[in-house]
A = this chain, B = another copy of it.
């Protein structure tokens, strides 16, 4: 299914004035602080976040999975789903594909569908953490870090294959997330595993076209429960430096030990020009993959505060690749993604509202109380009208979730696709 533009325009018709009124108030308030509300609205309108192809079906845990009606059964339908979200929000104009779950059968047809929905192909994702049914080598004991040369080569070749598929689609980057590690002390030799990983990544790096980037993800644990070879940003950063200048670290919010100061990691990586990509989600305990902003919204704001600072000051750092990497055992995936996008936009808008000149002064004076006031002033502001204004500007709908429900989109998808389909993926 596809939404038509008139529907959306009708939906917005009587809300423009209200939004403008609300923003006039913010305009007055923040102009005193040298913050331009209109510039912020433009930045919000420009911001695009990739949707991963695996986020469109129902997720699950090791204890089970509760399915959802109208799940997309094909890559075509996945793009269609993203197209719906993008039509409603104008913030989801990219897809991040996972191979082998989403190998396009007809590349040109897929490109046409994407083009038609205003979607570009962001970073490609390889998968060396599962054995596919036709696999000739196993990743049971590792992939790029493996002591088994055949498994290691198999994993390298798979990554090269993913690059080739990405090239055909117009993608410009590869994200490598490695589950590689150990469940038990002694299982692997840490040093050899790290050296193997470095060699493998260099091999993959050298197979990338000259205009591609490599994003190296890190994670402390899961699915391995004793050690993970790329366990933290320090390891990823070291490997990225070893690979070359187009290799970067990718930060996934859920991939940290309890209480990690993630915003400081972001600041460090941007200072060094090595923050390549960013995966949004939220969590309370581990890599819970919950809706963005549903658990720790202030933390998300603090991270965006560093991202905004870095985008302004760290010219050596490339513009990061943004992606949502959440799951949703019990929510309609499309509603979940709309909520995630909303939370991202809110945190971004709040970070843009921070009075950076005043903050710099307060920091220089060690006026800790005022530093806190300045951040909290931005955070405590109700920025939802700014996001609405950005949506009006982009021809999105003012309230995407309400529109989704009003248009009964899920019902239509079920009618079209049935209730028994299951999306490829986890």
Contacts and interface: CB of A to CB of B under 8 A. Distances in A.
Interface string A40-79: 0000000000000000000111111010000000000000
Interface string A369-395: 101111110011110100000000000
A100 to B, nearest CB: 13
Interface in A183-232: 183-191, 194-195, 220-223, 225-228, 231-232
B231 A335 contact: no
Interface string A61-101: 11110100000000000000000000000000000000000
A225 B363 CA distance: 17
A305 B306 CA distance: 30
Contacts of A260: 220, 257
A316 interface: no
B285 A222 contact: yes
B290 A187 contact: no
A14 interface: no
A268 interface: yes
A380 B346 contact: yes
B264 A227 contact: yes
A271 B242 CA distance: 14
A336 interface: yes
A371 B225 CA distance: 16
Interface string A114-145: 00000000000000011100000010110000
A231 B290 CA distance: 19
Report the interface size class on chain A.
35 or more
A91 to B, nearest CB: 17
Nearest to A294: B184
Nearest to A297: B298
Contact of A364 (B147, B182, B380, B382): B147
10 contacts: A66-B138, A183-B368, A184-B294, A185-B294, A185-B295, A185-B371, A186-B363, A237-B238, A257-B257, A258-B259
A69 to B, nearest CB: 13
Contacts of A190: 263-264, 267-268, 271, 306
Given A195-B271, A290-B184, A295-B226, A368 B331 contact: yes
A339 interface: yes
A234 interface: yes
Contacts of A235: 234, 268
A233 interface: yes
Contacts of A284: 221, 225-226, 259, 261
Nearest to A354: B186
B372 A339 contact: yes
A260 B260 CA distance: 11
A302 interface: yes
